[in-house]
Structure 1
Amino acid sequence: MGIPLRVLLVEDSEDDALLMLRELQRGGYQVTFERIDTPTAMKAAIAGETWDIVICDYSMPTFSAPAALKQVKESGLDLPFIIVSGTIGEDTAVAAMKAGAHDYIIKGNLARLIPAVARELREALVRRERKQAEEQIKASLQEKEVLLKEIHHRVKNNLQIISSLLNLQAEYIKDNQALEVFKDSQNRIDSMALIHEKLYQSQDLAKINFADYIQDLVTNLFYSYNVNSSAITLKMNVEEVFLAIDAAIPCGLIINELISNSLKYAFPQRELGEICIDFCSIEANLFKLTISDNGVGFAQDFDFQATESLGLRLVKGLTHQLQGNIDFISYNGVEYKIIFPTKNF
C-alpha cells in the first residue's frame, strides 16, 4: 500500500497528467486525483472535495497558474501549490513564488517532483499543527478570560453581600461611634468591590482605567457621607492611567481613607470647602497621587508618623505595600503626596 495522496491536478494535457501521476506512483504514493483545466471546474473541485496538494500547469487555453492560485488563496485553504510547466521562465517562476506558489518544476525534469511533493506535504503538516496549537491556545485564553470575569464578578458580589450585611447590622446599633466604624468598614469593602467590578467590565482583565475608578469611588463616598456638593466641591486632575489589581486595590483603599477623612473631619461646621485629587504619571511606571483639602487641618503638634488613627495607619501600611513614599503637610488644610512605582505590563 502506498501513501494516500489526494491531488487536484490542474492540467489541460492528459498525457502530461499521466506522466505526473506515474511519477507520483513510482514515488510511493497511492494517488486519488481529479484533473481540471477551467476556472469553473477549479471552483467546484475546491468546494466539493478535500485535497492534499495542487499540481498546476502554468499556462492553459482557458486557465492559468496565477488564476488557480488566486482561487486557492480566496478559499482560505492552506494547500501546497506546485507549478509544473514546460513554458515557464525564471522571472515568471519567481513572481509565482512571491504570489504564494510553493515550488515550480520543469516538465522535462520530473525527477524533482517527488522530493518537492514530500517537502511541501511535511511543511503543510507543520503549518496545520501550528495553526491547531494557536487555535487551542486562543480557545484556552478565551476560557480563562471568561473564568476570570466570573471570578471578579463573584468576588464583587460577595463583597457587596458583606457590605449589605454590615448595613443591616448597623440598623441595630445606637452608638454613633460604633456606627461610624461600621460605615468606614463598609466603604473600605465597597472600594475593593468597585475594583473587581471595573475589572470584569474591562476589555483588559489585568488592568483598569483608574481615572474612571476614582470618579466612581469619590461619587460613592460623597453619597455615603451625605455631602452637599454645592458646599464641598471636588476638583480632580487625573490622567488616564491603567493600574493592575495589585496596585489598584491598595491605591483605591488609600484614596478611600483620605477622602473619607476629609469628608468627616475637615469641615466640621459644614462650611464651604474644597477637596482636590491629582493623579499622574511622573515617568514610566512611577506615579504620584496627591489628595488635599482646605479644611481645618490638624493640630500643630500632630505627629503623622506616630498617629493612632486606624485610617492613617492603613494609609501608611498600604503605601509601604505599594513600595511608595508618603509626604504629609498640614497648612491651610492638609495635603498627602504619595509616590509609588508599578510593575511594567
Structure 2
Amino acid sequence: MSGTSLHLLLIEDSEDDAALLLRELRRAGYAVTHTRVQTAEELERALGEGTWDIIISDYSLPRFDGLAAFAQVQKRGLDVPFLIVSGAIGEDTAVAAMKAGVHDFLLKDRLARLAPAVARELREAQVRADRRRMQEQLMLSERLSSLGMLAASVAHEINNPLASLMMNLSFAQELLRGEVPPEEGLQVLREAVECSQRIRDIVQDIKVFSRPDEQDSGPTDLHRVLDSSLRMARNHVVHRAQLVTDYAQDVPRVQGSEARLGQIFLNLIINAAQAIPEGHRDEHEIRVVTSREPTGGVRVEIRDTGVGIPESLHERIFEPFFTTKPEGVGTGLGLSICRRLITQMGGSIRVESKLGRGTTFQLHLQEAAAVARVSSRRAARPKSGLHVLVVDDDVPVAKAIKRNLSRRYEVIALDRARAALELIASGQRFDAILCDLMMPEMTGPQFHEELQRLAPEQALRVTFMTGGAFTSEARAFLATTPNPCVEKPLDMERLFPLLEAAPQR
C-alpha cells in the first residue's frame, strides 16, 4: 500500500543527516521524492524548476544558512511550508527564525517531532491555498455583481449618443441628395463626430474595468482612472446627488494597477450613491477630492451626504459579507475587497462617518517613482508624399483609414498581414506602417517578428493600433516593444505626428 506522496526540497550538506530525515519521513508513511541542494545557486535553480510540497533546511551550511534560504523562498513569493532541522543551536536563534516566518524549528536529535510537524504544516498550507481560491472566487463574484449593475448604465450612456449619431448620419444622407441646405448639413456632421467621440470615451472607460486579473503595478494617472469610474457610475448618481470633483493640480502619478484602482473607486462611488435616497438631488452631493500628502503619497477622498454609518460599525464594514444595505442589495464583499486590493498596492483605506451627516472614505496611495515621459514628436507642418502601408483585417476599417490618410499621403491598405509581408519581400518599402494588433490569420506581434527578419528597418516604422489587447500575450508584447500603439477609434490628429516621425525611428 503506497504512502502519502511528498515532494521534498531538502537543503542539507550532510549525506548522513539527509538519509536520517528521509528515513524518518518514510517510516511515518510518506512516499518521498526529493531533491537535495547545498548552495544558494542550487536552491534558486530548484525553486525555478519545480513545485514543492515542503522545504526542510539545515540551519548551518558551509556557504549560507537556513534563514538566508528562507529569505530566498520569500523573495519568490512562494507559500511553501519551510522547516529548519538543525543540531545544537541557541534558543535565541530558534526564536529569531520563527519570528522571521519559518514554520517550525526542530533539533536533529529529536526527529520524532518531524512527521507530526510535516503533517501539520501540510494541512495548514492546504487551508491557506483553499482560502486564496475562495478569495479569488469572491473577488470574481463581486466584480460580476458590479458589472451587472453597470450593464444598464452603459447601455443608457451609449444609446443616447448612438441615437443622435444615427439620426445625424441619416440627415447627412439627405444632404448628399440635395434635400437640405449645406450649412445645416455641416452642423449635423459636427454633432455626429461629437456623438462618436462620446461613444469612444465610454468604450475606453469600459476597458479600464475589463481586465480583472491585471496585477501589473506601475505609474498610473489617478485622475484619468477617477474620471472613468465617475462616468461609469454616472447613471447611479445622477438621480440622487450632484457630482463634484476637486482635484489638486500637483497630484503625481500613483503606484498601482489601473484596473484594480478603477474597481475600488467604482465600488466606493456606487456605495456613496446607494447611501443617498432618490428624489432630492439638489440637496445632496458626492464629492471626489485628491491632494498630495505633505509627508509623501497621494490622498483620495470620496465624500457623500448620505445616511452615514454608526461609529460602532466603522471597522466591521470591511469584513467579508457584512453589509449595512437592505437585503438583496450588494454582496457584502465590496469594501472587504477594496481594502485587500488597496493594501496589495501599498496603500490604505479608512472611513469617517456620522449618522445623518454622511460618510468620507479616505484612500492613501503611494506616489509612483519618477518616470521619463516621452512626448510624441509633432511635425511643424503636415508632410505630403509619405508612403504608408495600412494592415487591418477589418475591411471597412482599413478603407476608412485609407480614405482619411490619403488626403496627405500615398496609402496602400491590405486586409492580410501575409500579403503585406509579400509586398515588402518583393522590394517595396514604406515610410510608415500602421498595423492592427489582433488579426486572425497573423497577429500584429507575429507580423512584426517576421518583418524584423525580413526588413529590420521597416519593423522600426510600425505603429500598432488596437481596439483592445484581449490576450495576455498581446499585452505583454505592448509592454516590451518600443513601437508606439494607438487606440481605436483612431484620433487622426494624434496619429499624423506618429506616422510622420516613423521614418526617423
Q: Give the 3 Å change call, closer, same or farther, for CA 138–285 of structure 1 in structure 2.
A: closer
Let me know the Cα RMSD of the aligned residues: 4.1
Report the Cα offset of residue 89 of structure 1: 1.5
Q: Distance in 1 between matches of 2:54 and 2:26?
A: 15
Q: Give the 3 Å change call, closer, same or farther, for CA 282–121 of structure 1 in structure 2.
A: closer
Tell me the TM-score normalised to structure 2 length: 0.37
Q: Give the 3 Å change call, closer, same or farther, for CA 250–282 of structure 1 in structure 2.
A: closer
2:243 pairs with 1:212: yes
Q: Tell me the equivalent position of 2:86.
A: 85
Return 200-209 or 29-38, whichever deviates more: 200-209
> Is the contact between residue 80 and residue 102 of structure 1 (CA under 8 Å) also seen in structure 2?
yes
Paired-residue identity, %: 41
Q: Tell me the equivalent position of 1:307.
A: none
Report the Cα offset of residue 145 of structure 1: 2.5
SS at match of 1:244: helix
Q: Distance in 2 between matches of 1:63 and 1:282?
A: 59
SS at match of 1:113: helix
> Is the contact between residue 276 and residue 305 of structure 2 (CA under 8 Å) also seen in structure 1?
no
Report the Cα offset of residue 251 of structure 1: 2.1
Structure 1 segments, 4+ long, off by >6 Å, are: 159-164, 197-200, 280-284, 342-345
One-letter amino acid matched to 1:145 = S
> Is the contact between residue 154 and residue 232 of structure 2 (CA under 8 Å) also seen in structure 1?
no
Q: Give the 3 Å change call, closer, same or farther, for CA 285–16 of structure 1 in structure 2.
A: closer
Q: Distance in 1 between matches of 2:50 and 2:96?
A: 28
Q: Distance in 2 between matches of 1:214 and 1:42?
A: 52
Q: Distance in 2 between matches of 1:243 and 1:139?
A: 22
Q: Distance in 2 between matches of 1:252 and 1:283?
A: 11
Q: Give the 3 Å change call, closer, same or farther, for CA 62–204 of structure 1 in structure 2.
A: farther
SS at match of 2:243: helix
Q: Tell me the equivalent position of 2:279.
A: 250
Report the Cα offset of residue 253 of structure 1: 7.6
Larger helix proportion of the pair: 1
**1:178-257 residue pairs with structure 2 within 5 A?**
201-202=229-230, 208=237, 210-212=241-243, 243-245=272-274, 247=276, 249-252=278-281
Q: Give the 3 Å change call, closer, same or farther, for CA 50–214 of structure 1 in structure 2.
A: closer
Q: Distance in 1 between matches of 2:41 and 2:8?
A: 17
SS at match of 1:212: strand
SS at match of 2:73: helix
Q: Distance in 1 between matches of 2:358 and 2:280?
A: 14
Q: Distance in 2 between matches of 1:250 and 1:214?
A: 22
> Is the contact between residue 152 and residue 200 of structure 1 (CA under 8 Å) also seen in structure 2?
no
Q: Tell me the equivalent position of 1:16.
A: 17
> Is the contact between residue 149 and residue 199 of structure 1 (CA under 8 Å) also seen in structure 2?
no
Per-residue CA deviation, residues 246-275 of structure 1 (Å, 9 max, x unaligned), is 7364123889xxxxxxxxxxxxxxxxxxxx
2:84 pairs with 1:53: no
> Is the contact between residue 304 and residue 359 of structure 2 (CA under 8 Å) also seen in structure 1?
no
Q: Give the 3 Å change call, closer, same or farther, for CA 254–283 of structure 1 in structure 2.
A: closer
Q: Tell me the equivalent position of 1:192.
A: none
SS at match of 2:13: coil
One-letter amino acid matched to 1:24 = L
One-letter amino acid matched to 1:79 = V
Higher Cα radius of gyration: 1
Tell me the TM-score normalised to structure 1 length: 0.53
Report the Cα offset of residue 142 of structure 1: 2.2
Report the Cα offset of residue 5 of structure 1: 0.1
SS at match of 2:127: helix
> Is the contact between residue 276 and residue 306 of structure 2 (CA under 8 Å) also seen in structure 1?
no
The number of residue pairs the alignment matches comes to: 214
One-letter amino acid matched to 1:72 = V
> Is the contact between residue 106 and residue 114 of structure 2 (CA under 8 Å) also seen in structure 1?
yes
Q: Give the 3 Å change call, closer, same or farther, for CA 107–74 of structure 1 in structure 2.
A: same
> Is the contact between residue 145 and residue 205 of structure 1 (CA under 8 Å) also seen in structure 2?
no
Q: Give the 3 Å change call, closer, same or farther, for CA 46–154 of structure 1 in structure 2.
A: same
Q: Distance in 2 between matches of 1:145 and 1:283?
A: 20
**1:53-132 residue pairs with structure 2 within 5 A?**
53-132=54-133
> Is the contact between residue 9 and residue 54 of structure 1 (CA under 8 Å) also seen in structure 2?
yes
> Is the contact between residue 11 and residue 17 of structure 1 (CA under 8 Å) also seen in structure 2?
yes
Q: Distance in 2 between matches of 1:129 and 1:282?
A: 40
Note the residue ranges of structure 1 that are not aligned, 5 or more in a row. 165-196, 216-239, 256-279, 287-339
One-letter amino acid matched to 2:101 = G
Report the Cα offset of residue 152 of structure 1: 1.6
Note the residue ranges of structure 2 that are not aligned, 5 or more in a row. 166-204, 206-225, 247-268, 285-302, 310-354, 361-505
